[in-house]
Amino acid sequence: MPIQTENLHIDTLRALPTPVQLATELPRDDAISATVAGSRSAIRNILRGADDRLLVIVGPCSIHDPAAALDYAARLAEERRTLSDRLEIVMRVYFEKPRTTVGWKGLINDPHLDGSDRIEDGLPMARRLLLEVNRLGLPAATEFLDPILPQYFADLIAWGAIGARTTESQIHRQLASGLSCPIGFKNGTDGGVQVALDAIRSAAAPHSFPAITADGRAAIATTTGNAACHVVLRGGHDGPNYDAQALARVMAAADKAKVDPGIVIDASHANSGKDPMRQPAVVADIAGQVRNGSRAIRGLMLESHLVAGRQDQQPGRPLTYGQSITDGCLGWDDTRTLLHVLASAAGTRMRAAA
């Protein structure tokens, strides 16, 4: 009997539908396509400074309850309509969560929150939610972590992120070069921005790499490069990087690298010291810079849900509706207040530039 040398640590393999099968089962209509395409175009214009509005990417740290997410989306869609003259509001709809060691990996990987890892259930659940969010006229943003999964739902995403842990990854830079939406590369967890600037240059170039087709076949993808990549500042081990002095350093480094950083600031993570209740202070500083005419700041990210804070999953105890199970978030009322603060600041900048 031959000695087995392959798949020694694979327990089981379960079949997934192909991307085209899922898209056929859960198709987008013309109105949804218009929402996605319109927001992508608006975001590109904001990132390159052709539109003085602010991009605001706001929503839960992660999605674990589609019903609560859709409740949040309905409220946010109303704010988008009200503030659209000054803000391009996009909802965070994050399905994948990178873990430092182990833990819940997100709705796609473990949709039932029980360790069963029913990805075959998570993928249609995720696509169905994205359809419903976009149907409200509200575009969606997500973080791309697994390089295969975008085939299943990237057609419904207006803006994407590559996280701090993966900005330096060649695989994710190649992935970004072929995605159809603008992509934000976060600075490294140490706070270093050079890796994000390098990623922008890499993703803007053509690449060839192994991929899967819409019908699930192995293939070689050749990309044209993505010119709508930019920097997301999220702070680092040495503290925040959203103040005017930090932005000046980023702009100088970007000028040296000969890239437009199109800066979006993450008000959470290290910029808030991982305390969600400090996000309003970060927003106040950013709004002040925008009100004073700063054109370096193109957008902002907020972690927000219906209920403030976060909660742990406990056996036999129901989860609080609308509260995060990953990073802590602002509650809805505080979020709405901050959106209006940002709209006011953006309006002041727009009038001064007119």
Three-point CA angle 276, 281, 286, nearest 5°: 115
Secondary structure (DSSP) of 252-296: HHHHHHT----EEEESSGGGGTT-GGGHHHHHHHHHHHHHTT--S
Per-residue tokens: 7: 């798949």
pLDDT for 190 equals 92
**Helices H / strands E in the chain, number of each:** 10, 10
Question: Pick from 243, 202, 182, 198: which is nearest to 46 by CA?
Answer: 182
Task: Count CA within 13 A, CB hemisphere, residue 296.
Answer: 23
pLDDT for 114 equals 93
- Cα separation, 188 vs 194, whole angstroms: 8
Is there a contact between 243 and 277 (Cβ–Cβ < 8 Å)?
no
Per-residue tokens: 238: 């040495």
- Cα separation, 212 vs 147, whole angstroms: 10
- Cα separation, 230 vs 233, whole angstroms: 10
- Cα separation, 186 vs 3, whole angstroms: 45
- Cα separation, 148 vs 131, whole angstroms: 20
pLDDT for 99 equals 77
Identify the H or E element spanning 143. Answer: strand 140-143
Complete domains list, the chain, with CATH: 19-353 (3.20.20.70)
Is there a contact between 302 and 276 (Cβ–Cβ < 8 Å)?
no
Neighbours of 117 (CB within 10 A): 15
Look up residue 78 and give its amino acid.
E
Digit-by-digit pLDDT tens for the chain (354 residues) are 889 999 889 989 999 999 999 999 999 999 999 999 999 999 999 999 999 999 999 999 999 999 999 999 999 999 999 999 999 999 999 999 887 777 899 999 999 999 999 999 999 999 999 999 999 999 999 999 999 999 999 999 999 999 999 999 999 999 999 999 999 999 999 999 999 999 999 999 999 999 999 999 999 999 999 999 999 999 999 899 999 999 999 999 999 999 999 999 999 999 999 999 999 999 999 999 999 999 999 999 999 999 999 999 988 899 999 999 999 999 999 999 999 999 999 999 999 988
pLDDT for 196 equals 98
pLDDT for 98 equals 84
Beta pairing, strands 218-222 & 208-212: antiparallel
Maximal CA-CA distance, the chain:
79
pLDDT for 65 equals 98
Task: Count CA within 13 A, CB hemisphere, residue 261.
Answer: 29
